Amino acid sequence: MRTTLRRLFAIAGLVLVLGLTAAAGALPARLGDQEFWRLVADSSEPDGTFRSDNLLSNELGFQFVVPELTKTTKPGRAYMGVGPEQNFTYIVATRPAMAFIVDIRRGNLDLHLMYKALFELSADRAEFVSRLFSKKRPEGLSAKSTSTDIFGAFWNIQTDPAMFNENLQAIDTLLVKKHGFALSSDDLEGIKYVYNAFFQYGPRIQYSSTNSFGGGSGQPSYADLMTASDHAGLEHSYLASEDNFQFLKDLESRNLLVPVVGNFGGSKAIRAVGRYLKDKNAIVSAFYLSNVEQYLRQDLIWDNFCANVATLPLDETSTFIRSVRRGNTAPGIGLSSELGDMSNEVKTCRP
């Protein structure tokens, strides 16, 4: 009897130890406000520069890889990316437990803080689009509305200056007073600048709308991007369904989408994210690169980037998502999306 009891206590103790170890090394179910902001600040590098504001994607065919991506990657892991809203679509496709957006521009952090606030403030997709573009919500939209229904309903509604001012105040209040984030005056001005661009151009906003250099013809509007589909005609955008939107809203509400300022070839940001994820025994499921590698090669720092990625926790399913110029390109700006094997591509790079 005593032997049996000792065995039971030993097994219970082992289960408890394993449970505590797993809990200590797992991605968090939620980040506290101070913990979130500390992770942002501690992982970030100084503000860098890029040739454009990059307030939205210019890659109309970015959903073409989603069906293959969902077969390759595993949910419940960590997502990494760069740039604006196309990350949201890849996030809802891969269903990570946590996401990090690493971008050289502080302005991209301000953009994602604006989005964070709007996700938290909005009950559903229609309210989110209403707030994003400062347009009064039309009647008749519901959880069953398609993205085409939603953007069609908002298309000819005038933007409302009073709504803009009210929503901007709500964004600042949520970020500074509710969450207590230590935003600088430059950050607050950056958020205002970003939000004003969506107010000025509405759902017609394009990549080049706020960029004096232009950027080519045939660029998709925000509405085009949200109503786009894969080759089979299936829509995957974060506004394609209420379920997609609610997944993002929940992730943002739990402080689990973390914007970080950092150069892909820099010495800090990607490695800091890697250390954090390794401490949590997490694996990177996907890393969206856009066409940043083009600029890393131009600046002769692609090897630095490769070495940085080699420090991330990866396995055989970890997947790069990149935008490249090939013969068979998507409509718009001549970029097509491709997937890559992260572990295999960086295996020869020294961390």
User: CA 261, CA 2: separation in Å to the nearest integer?
Assistant: 59
Q: What is the mean pLDDT of residues 23-33?
A: 85
Q: Residue 21 pLDDT > 50, yes or no?
A: no
Answer yes or no: is 302 within a domain. Answer: yes
- Is pLDDT larger for residue 82 or for residue 4? 82
Whether residue 77 contacts residue 97, with contact meaning beta carbons closer than 8 Å, is answered with yes
Helix (H, G, I), strand (E, B) or coil at 298: helix
Token output for 46: 């100084």
In angstroms and rounded to an integer, the radius of gyration of the C-alpha atoms of the chain is 21
Q: Residue 46 pLDDT > 90, yes or no?
A: yes
CA distances from 168 to 112, 180, 196, 277, 280 (A): 14, 16, 9, 33, 36
User: CA 91, CA 70: separation in Å to the nearest integer?
Assistant: 10
Least confident interval from 61-70, 261-270, 326-335: 326-335
Q: What confidence score (pLDDT) does residue 217 get?
A: 57
Model pLDDT for residues 108-125, shown as the tens digit of each residue: 999 999 999 999 999 999
User: CA 292, CA 324: separation in Å to the nearest integer?
Assistant: 10
Q: Residue 102 pLDDT > 60, yes or no?
A: yes
Indicate the pLDDT class of residue 303, thresholds 50, 70 and 90.
very high
Token output for 191: 């958020």
Please count the CA atoms within 13 angstroms of the CA of 82 that sit on its side-chain side: 21
Q: What is the mean pLDDT of residues 206-224?
A: 79
User: In whole numbers, what is the pLDDT of the chain averaged over residues?
Assistant: 91
Whether residue 301 contacts residue 267, with contact meaning beta carbons closer than 8 Å, is answered with no
Q: What is the mean pLDDT of residues 172-180?
A: 98
Answer yes or no: is 268 within a domain. Answer: yes
Q: Residue 14 pLDDT > 80, yes or no?
A: no
- Is pLDDT larger for residue 3 or for residue 241? 241
Boundaries of domain holding 79:
31-346
Q: What confidence score (pLDDT) does residue 326 get?
A: 64
Indicate the pLDDT class of residue 350, thresholds 50, 70 and 90.
confident
Q: What is the mean pLDDT of residues 155-169?
A: 97
User: CA 15, CA 222: separation in Å to the nearest integer?
Assistant: 50
| Of 200, 191, 118, 129, residue with least CA distance to 160 | 200
Domain count of the chain? 1
Token output for 131: 């707030």
Q: What confidence score (pLDDT) does residue 20 get?
A: 37
Answer yes or no: is 272 within a domain. Answer: yes
CA distances from 279 to 21, 41, 164, 339, 346 (A): 11, 18, 42, 27, 21
Measured distance between the N- and C-terminal CA atoms of the chain, rounded to whole angstroms:
54
Answer yes or no: is 270 within a domain. Answer: yes
The amino acid at residue 68 is E
Answer yes or no: is 198 within a domain. Answer: yes
Answer yes or no: is 2 within a domain. Answer: no
Helix (H, G, I), strand (E, B) or coil at 5: helix
pLDDT more than 70, % of the chain: 89
Report the DSSP pairing between strands 336-341 and 319-324. Answer: antiparallel
Model pLDDT for residues 129-158, shown as the tens digit of each residue: 999 999 999 999 999 999 999 999 999 999
Model pLDDT for residues 254-285, shown as the tens digit of each residue: 999 999 999 999 999 999 999 999 999 999 99
Helix orientation angle between 161-172 and 125-133, rounded to the nearest 10 degrees: 110
Answer yes or no: is 22 within a domain. Answer: no
User: CA 90, CA 300: separation in Å to the nearest integer?
Assistant: 28
Phi-psi region of 281 (alpha: psi -120 to 50; beta: other; left: phi over 0): left
| Of 247, 190, 238, residue with least CA distance to 57 | 238
Q: What confidence score (pLDDT) does residue 213 get?
A: 55
Q: What is the mean pLDDT of residues 45-58?
A: 88
Answer yes or no: is 23 within a domain. Answer: no
